[in-house]
């Protein structure tokens, strides 16, 4: 009965299509629903809409009967006998098939039988042991530094070891949202002074009970990093990603994951669309999404900056805003000195947008931070330290925060810079933050550390690399130990979610990080340390800092470096060991093993296709859709809206362009938005 009814409906539909084809055949364009879908996406969309309407109009009882019949047919198919071949001496982890009670009636494909993905049984055993150890390394470094490791792989690792998995509370501590009527800059709830002594040794901060304990070499009982173990683990991973069988296995598994996604899409695309339409009060626009990779100095679009420059000139033309070699200048005098008038400026003459000239030219891109090519305007409008104490910069950021609040479902984590040139940088930045009350409920902050030690050393600002690390981390430790004497910094630290390491990754240092590498206090040359050297010592200090802050009940920090945009594949390997999540990750496409490990560990990757398009990789070649299909945890971010975006909502612009170019479905975009929420450092409250 069901089949005859379906046949009749299909015959009726075919007649209508045929009639529409014949009608006005002489004058109509040759667009047919029978063409290949890539040639005629419009008719494909019409067909899909028609089928969905037809499906929705049918009675629920008929649909249940049809699904029951399909399941009955599937159960009637013969199932391959289980092979008695044991593929590995590692205890097999067999998970029971989940019961899809609360999930839509999706069609599923089941693959049965033993299959070693194109490698021999002996190689398969080597591969599994290698991947198991790699995941254990990742888990160890995440737990020691109070960062995140997903529950699912942790459960499988315990099962392999024969242990019972237990949920632990070892994880990052986030600052809860400010309640109504509560002051985000309140200092009355700061902790007491512990009286500890803080001292850096071999590039790592150690905590002592008092100064006398330093001489006795008795630091407090906190986890401290071990360089030798780190290098051993790094060398193991280097060998693993270069092994032929591991590369073959990882490559084939990644192809399988991609094919699995495509099969699911073919079978269930219409069901997904139907579920989305039947879900009330939720669509892509009111899914929460977080811009997890955005720089504060470029968080506004070029039109916003131009409008603010003109407004400030109209209001503050006679205000002293600049100090030029001891000579104070008003805003009007400053523009006269630059031979400019704000009312003559356009977004083109502002010249802050990245174009064709910046491709593969990071030096030219950095120059785009100077409006009209004038560093004076950058100092005035985009810096926290200047003659007006960064007032204009704070106002611009608060306006961006207000736009996010108006959008309601968009959040951001802008990055502010700490260079490590002086120990006073932290206190100056905290003073700027508190003085101008730079707060928005839709914003949290991150600290980026540019890898420019060589610049400071050549100008004699620093005696050695250890001093740079000291300037970056010791003030934070001191504020953690004694918040009462560092009130502004302690308040500022409550609103910080993590640390970032930034610079042009394509710059080659030539140094191979090992146990023989000079200690930071011994690195006195003007040559810049390698990426891995920077990453290790930043991670090492964040590890100690997080454990100390966790003991005190304070919020902890995530390590989220720029990684994999360019440069060597070892950057991604170092981040696999140390980083909670990364930004960019383009070079993962060059290493199937690392790509597979990032999938297994579900390491979040904030990707910025528009940024990459102007600097390193054409948009159409971006691996974001490929990573998404394989199951890597990717999200979209803007990087620098001032350079790359045109609209008031740069994050929505990023999603819109990706959806059009990569043909992402609404379901894809919602999943990417969800990933950004899981990746961020905002409290789940």
Tell me: pLDDT of 100 over 70.
Answer: no
In this prediction, residues 628-636 reach a mean pLDDT of: 95
Q: If pLDDT is split at 50, 70 and 90, which confidence band does 162 have?
A: confident
Rounded to an integer, the average pLDDT of 288-306 is 90
Q: Are 390 and 661 in contact (CB under 8 A)?
A: no
More confident site: 133 or 175: 133
H/E run at residue 636:
strand 634-636
> What pLDDT does 30 receive?
39
List the structure tokens of 133.
């150890």
What's the number of domains the chain is made of?
2
For range 220-235, the mean pLDDT: 92
Residue 235 burial by Cβ neighbours in a 10 Å radius (0-12, 13-18, 19+): exposed
Q: Is residue 82 one of the residues assigned to a domain?
A: no
Is residue 584 annotated as a catalytic residue, yes or no?
yes
| Structural domain containing residue 52 | 1-74
> Among 26-30, 528-532, 681-685, which range has the highest average pLDDT?
528-532
Say how many C-beta atoms besides its own lie within 10 A of residue 31's C-beta.
11
Cα 406 from Cα 677, distance rounded (Å): 19
pLDDT score recorded for residue 34: 37
- The predicted pLDDT at position 305 comes to 87
- CATH code where residue 568 lies: 3.20.20.140
| Cα 657 from Cα 644, distance rounded (Å) | 12
pLDDT at residue 195 tops 80:
yes
Tell me what the mean pLDDT of segment 448-456 comes to.
91
Q: For residue 656, tell me if it sits in a domain.
A: yes
Examine the pLDDT at 80 and tell me if it is beyond 70: no
pLDDT, position 536:
95
Last residue of a domain, one of 24, 46, 74: 74
Say yes or no to pLDDT of 81 above 50: no
pLDDT at 82: 40
Q: Which residue has the tokens 């199937």?
A: 592
The pLDDT of 217-244, averaged and rounded, is 91
Structural domain contains residue 22: yes
Q: Where are the beta strands (DSSP E) in 136-201?
A: 197-201
Asked if residue 51 lies in contact with residue 57, where contact means CB atoms within 8 angstroms, the answer is no
Structural tokens at position 619: 């948009």
Determine the Cα–Cα distance for residues 556 and 166; give it in Å rounded to an integer.
Answer: 23
The rounded percent of the chain whose pLDDT value lies above 70 is: 80
Query: In Å, how far from its chain's centre is CA 525?
Result: 33
- pLDDT bin (cut points 50, 70, 90) of residue 46 is low
Q: Of the candidates 74, 97, 126, which is a domain's last residue?
A: 74
Alpha helices for 351-486 (secondary structure H): 362-367, 375-381, 391-407, 425-435, 453-458, 465-481
Residue 353 has pLDDT above 60, yes or no: no
Task: Render 637-650 in DSSP notation, one character per residue.
Answer: --B-HHHH--SS-H
More confident residue, 28 or 422: 422
Q: Which residues contact 486 (CB under 8 A, 6 or more apart)?
A: 427, 475, 478, 479
Please say if the pLDDT value at position 345 is more than 90. no
- The per-residue pLDDT for 232 is 93
The torsion angle over the Cα atoms of residues 303, 321, 395 and 382, rounded to 10 degrees, is 60
Mean pLDDT lowest for which of 92-106, 328-342, 485-499, 626-640?
Answer: 92-106
Element (H, E) at 582: strand 582-584
Mean of per-residue pLDDT scores for the chain: 82
Which sign does the torsion angle of CA 93, 94, 96, 97 carry?
A: positive
Q: Residue 401: its pLDDT value, please? A: 93
Strand partners, 437: none
Question: How many Å apart are CA 469 and CA 457, to the nearest integer?
Answer: 13
> Would the pLDDT of 33 be above 90?
no
Q: How far apart are CA 179 and CA 186, in angstroms?
A: 12
DSSP state of 305: H
The pLDDT confidence band at residue 216, using thresholds 50, 70 and 90, is confident
- At 37, is the pLDDT very low, low, confident or very high (cuts 50, 70, 90)? very low
Domain boundary among 40, 74, 108: 74
Q: Is residue 479 part of a domain?
A: yes
Q: Please say if the pLDDT value at position 545 is more than 60.
A: yes
Between CA 671 and CA 388 the distance in angstroms is: 43
Structure tokens at 286: 């009111």
In this prediction, residue 99 carries a pLDDT of 47
Catalytic residue among 197, 436, 584, 645: 584
CA–CA gap between residue 584 and residue 397 (Å, rounded): 24
Q: Tell whether 224 is covered by a domain.
A: no
Contact between 278 and 63 under an 8 Å Cβ cutoff? The reply is no
* Domain assignment present for 144: no
Q: How far apart are CA 283 and CA 280, in angstroms?
A: 8
Q: Which residue has the higher pLDDT, 240 or 120?
A: 240
Say if 506 falls within a structural domain: yes
Q: How far apart are CA 131 and CA 154, in angstroms?
A: 13
Residue whose C-alpha is closest to residue 172's, from 404, 497, 524, 621 = 497
The reply to whether 225 falls in a domain is: no
CA atoms within 13 A on the CB side of 263: 11
Handedness of CA 272, 274, 278, 281 (dihedral sign): positive
For residue 248, CA distances in Å to 87, 241, 590, 623 come to 17, 11, 13, 20
Tens-digit pLDDT profile for residues 483-507:
999 999 999 999 999 999 998 888 8
What's the maximum distance between 2 C-alpha atoms anywhere in the chain? 98
Range with the poorest average pLDDT among 67-81, 317-331, 617-631 = 67-81
């Amino acid at each position: 009965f069901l089949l005859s009814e379906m046949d009749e409906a299909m015959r009726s539909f075919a007649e209508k299509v045929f009639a529409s084809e014949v009608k006005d055949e002489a004058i109509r364009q040759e667009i047919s629903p029978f063409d290949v879908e890539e040639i005629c996406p419009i008719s494909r969309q019409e067909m899909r809409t028609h089928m969905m309407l037809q499906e929705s109009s049918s009675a629920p009882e008929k649909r249940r009967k049809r699904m029951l019949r399909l399941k009955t047919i599937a159960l009637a198919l013969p199932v391959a006998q289980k092979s008695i071949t044991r593929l590995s001496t590692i205890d097999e982890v067999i998970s029971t098939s989940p019961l899809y009670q609360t999930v839509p009636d999706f069609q599923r494909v089941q693959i049965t039988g033993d299959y070693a993905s194109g490698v021999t049984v002996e190689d398969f055993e080597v591969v599994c042991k290698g991947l198991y150890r790699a995941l254990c390394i990742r888990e160890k470094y995440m737990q020691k530094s109070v960062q995140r490791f997903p529950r699912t792989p942790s459960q499988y690792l315990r099962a392999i070891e024969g242990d019972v998995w237990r949920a632990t509370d070892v994880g990052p501590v986030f600052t809860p949202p400010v309640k109504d009527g509560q002051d985000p800059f309140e200092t009355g709830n700061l902790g007491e002074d512990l009286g500890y002594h803080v001292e850096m040794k071999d590039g790592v901060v150690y905590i002592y009970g008092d100064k006398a304990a330093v001489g006795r070499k008795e630091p407090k009982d906190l986890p401290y990093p071990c360089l030798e173990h780190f290098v051993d683990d790094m060398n193991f991973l280097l060998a693993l990603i270069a092994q032929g069988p591991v590369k073959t296995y990882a490559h084939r598994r990644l192809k399988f994951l991609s094919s699995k996604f495509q099969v699911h899409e073919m079978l269930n695309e219409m069901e997904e669309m139907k579920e989305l339409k039947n879900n009330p009060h939720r669509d892509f626009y009111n899914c929460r999404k977080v811009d997890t990779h955005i720089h504060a100095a470029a968080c506004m679009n070029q039109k916003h900056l131009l409008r603010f420059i003109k407004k400030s000139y109209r209001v503050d033309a006679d205000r002293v805003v600049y100090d030029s070699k001891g000579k104070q200048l008003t805003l009007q005098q400053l523009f006269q000195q630059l031979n400019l008038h704000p009312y003559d400026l356009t977004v083109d003459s502002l010249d802050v947008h990245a174009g064709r000239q910046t491709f593969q030219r990071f030096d030219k891109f950095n120059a785009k931070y100077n409006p009209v090519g004038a560093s004076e305007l950058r100092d005035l409008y985009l810096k926290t330290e200047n003659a007006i104490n960064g007032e204009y910069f704070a106002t611009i950021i608060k306006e961006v925060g207000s736009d996010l609040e108006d959008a309601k479902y968009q959040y951001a984590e802008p990055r502010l810079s700490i260079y490590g040139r002086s120990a006073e940088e932290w206190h100056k930045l905290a003073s700027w933050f508190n003085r101008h009350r730079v707060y928005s409920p839709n914003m949290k902050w991150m600290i980026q550390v540019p890898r420019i030690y060589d610049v400071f050393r050549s100008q004699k600002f620093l005696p050695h690399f250890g001093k740079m690390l000291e300037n970056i981390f010791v003030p934070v430790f001191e504020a953690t130990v004694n918040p009462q004497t560092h009130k502004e910094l302690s308040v500022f630290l409550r609103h910080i979610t993590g640390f970032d390491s930034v610079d042009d990754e394509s710059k080659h240092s030539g140094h191979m990080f090992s146990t023989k590498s000079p200690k930071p206090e011994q690195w006195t040359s003007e040559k810049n340390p390698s990426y891995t050297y920077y990453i290790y010592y930043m991670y090492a200090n964040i590890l100690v800092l997080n454990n100390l802050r966790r003991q005190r009940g304070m919020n902890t920090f995530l390590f989220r470096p720029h990684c994999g945009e360019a440069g060597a594949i070892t950057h991604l390997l170092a981040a696999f060991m140390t980083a909670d999540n990364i930004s960019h990750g383009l070079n993962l496409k060059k290493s199937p093993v690392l790509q597979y490990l990032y999938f297994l560990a579900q390491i979040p990757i904030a990707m910025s296709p528009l940024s990459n398009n102007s600097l390193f990789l054409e948009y159409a070649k971006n691996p974001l859709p490929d990573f998404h299909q394989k199951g890597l945890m990717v999200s979209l971010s803007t990087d620098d809206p001032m350079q790359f975006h045109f609209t008031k909502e740069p994050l929505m612009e990023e999603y819109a362009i990706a959806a059009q170019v990569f043909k992402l479905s609404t379901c894809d975009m919602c999943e990417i938005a969800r990933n950004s929420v899981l990746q961020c450092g905002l409290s789940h409250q």
